[in-house]
Every structure is written in structure tokens, then in C-alpha cells.
Amino acid sequence: MTAQHSTDPIVLPPLYRLHALRTGDAFAEACALAPREGAGTLVWTRRADRLDCAVVLEPETPLADARRVALVALSAVADALAALGPPHKPVGFHWPDTLLVDGGTVGGVRFAHATAGEGEVPDWAVVGVTVRMSLDGDLADKDRTALYEEGFGEVEVPQLVEAFARHFMARLSDWAEEGFARQSEEWMSRLAPAPGPKRSLDTTGDLLVFAGSKPERWSLAEALAAPGWTDAP
């Protein structure tokens, strides 16, 4: 992989350090860099057909709480698309990691961390973001779409990287200052509707499904361990 630092056409907020790749998987590269590069490293793979970036973090809370950053990152991507895209184009989620535009999957987030128990603070964590800009023929089905198919024709990948970085920083700041309740409420407002029982987010990010007298708990940790939305990088 070849990294570039000074000539890339994107401008990030000061707390980020750009590590740009010509090829490769930004998420995997960020995980490799995390132990030595530290928080604020943003890895971006220069591709025209998709946004592929990842951010290194240094959590200050135990893993059970820090894992919720994956949900916050998904909200930040949605914020960026809402700001850049066509007015009134619906942007939503499937719990916990899948990004939807007008009901079709366009990408999602991934999460990794240094070895740590649920009650321990991991040395590092990485959240990765992938958004399809255009469709490969093999992906052209009713459940998957891409930004250019949904009217985002004026949006280019560098713009989306910049917008995500800004919105992610803003959401992390709000989370630190106000707690997770507001993040949870706004996240649930974008969760795709489904027939059946009421759903809500637990304080840990687990999804609670109220099907009977006692809610069924869907584990965020288990769901993030094997993302369901991913395509080959």
C-alpha cells in the first residue's frame, strides 16, 4: 500500500491526521496503524466508486460503553448525506451497522478494538465507514443501491470524507457533553420501520425488542462482530 499525506484534495478538521492510500482496505490499515499512530488518524482509500475510510480512537470508557461509537459514526454518515444530498431523500438504518438511502443498502460501519474485557478500557478502537457511490453489476438488486442511483450525482468522495469527519467530530463532542440519551433518540428516529413489536436502544447500545412481558435483547457486541452489510472491498 502507498500512503500519501500532503497532496490529497481533502481538508479535515485539525484534530485529524490523514493517511491516504492508493489501494487497499482503509479499515484494515487503520487497525494496523492504531497501536502506534493513535487517536485522530483517519485512513482514506482513494477510490471513486465508494467512500472507504476509518478513524482511530482512544476510548476513555470501558469497551461495553465505547462500542457505541459505531452507532454514533453511523449517525454522522447520515448527517453528512442529509447535508449533501437531495432534499427529503430518506436516510436510515438497519440495526446496528447498516446505512440505507430510500430503503436500499448503500453501506455501513465496522468496529474493531484492542484486546480488552467488557469492563476494561481498550488501548484503541477503530470505526470504519463504507458507502457505495456507484453500483457494480453484481450488486444491482432491489435491496442494494448507491448514492449516484439515488440522486447524489453532484457529490464526490472527497466531499463526503470531509463531511463525515466534521459530523463525526460534532457528534463525539455532543456525546461527551450531553451523554448518550440524545444520540440514542436521534439514532432510533432513523431506524427503518418494521412490523411487529416496539424497539428501543438500551444504554449499552443493545436493541430491546418488546415482544412480550420481558424485552428480547439483541447484543450490539455480537452484531458488530460479523457485519451483515459488507461487500468485498
| CA–CA gap between residue 21 and residue 116 (Å, rounded) | 29
Mean pLDDT of 85-109: 95
Residue 104 domain-assigned?
A: yes
Q: Judge whether residue 124 has pLDDT over 80.
A: yes
Residue 233 domain-assigned?
A: no
Residue 130 domain-assigned?
A: yes
- Beta strand 98-101 with 17-21 is unpaired
Mean pLDDT of 88-102: 95
Q: Judge whether residue 155 has pLDDT over 80.
A: yes
Task: Specify the range with the lowest mean pLDDT, choosing from 2-11, 96-105, 138-147, 223-232.
Answer: 2-11
Mean pLDDT of 203-230: 89
Residue 47 domain-assigned?
A: yes
Residue 231 domain-assigned?
A: no
The three state secondary structure string of 132-189 is ECCCCHHHCCCCECCHHHHCCCCCCHHHHHHHHHHHHHHHHHHHHHHCCHHHHHHHHH
Question: What percentage of residues in the chain have a pLDDT greater than 70?
Answer: 93
Mean pLDDT of 18-30: 96
What is the rounded average pLDDT for all residues in the chain?
91
Residue 230 domain-assigned?
A: no
What pLDDT is attached to residue 52?
97
What pLDDT is attached to residue 6?
37
Among left, alpha and beta (phi > 0; psi -120 to 50; other), residue 182 is alpha
Mean pLDDT of 198-209: 93
What pLDDT is attached to residue 142?
64
What pLDDT is attached to residue 1?
36
Amino acid at 31: C
| CA–CA gap between residue 184 and residue 174 (Å, rounded) | 12
Specify the number of domains making up the chain. Answer: 1
Q: What's the domain range around 127?
A: 3-225
**pLDDT bucket at 149, cuts 50 / 70 / 90:** very high
Q: What are phi and psi of 224, to 5 degrees?
A: -75, -15
DSSP 3-state percent helix, strand, coil across the chain (nearest 5):
35, 25, 40
Q: What is the CATH number of the domain that holds 199?
A: 3.30.930.10
**pLDDT bucket at 2, cuts 50 / 70 / 90:** very low
What pLDDT is attached to residue 5?
38
Task: Note the pLDDT tens digit of each residue in 30-44.
Answer: 999 999 999 999 999
Residue 53 domain-assigned?
A: yes
**pLDDT bucket at 137, cuts 50 / 70 / 90:** low
Residue 129 domain-assigned?
A: yes
Run of H or E including 78: helix 69-84
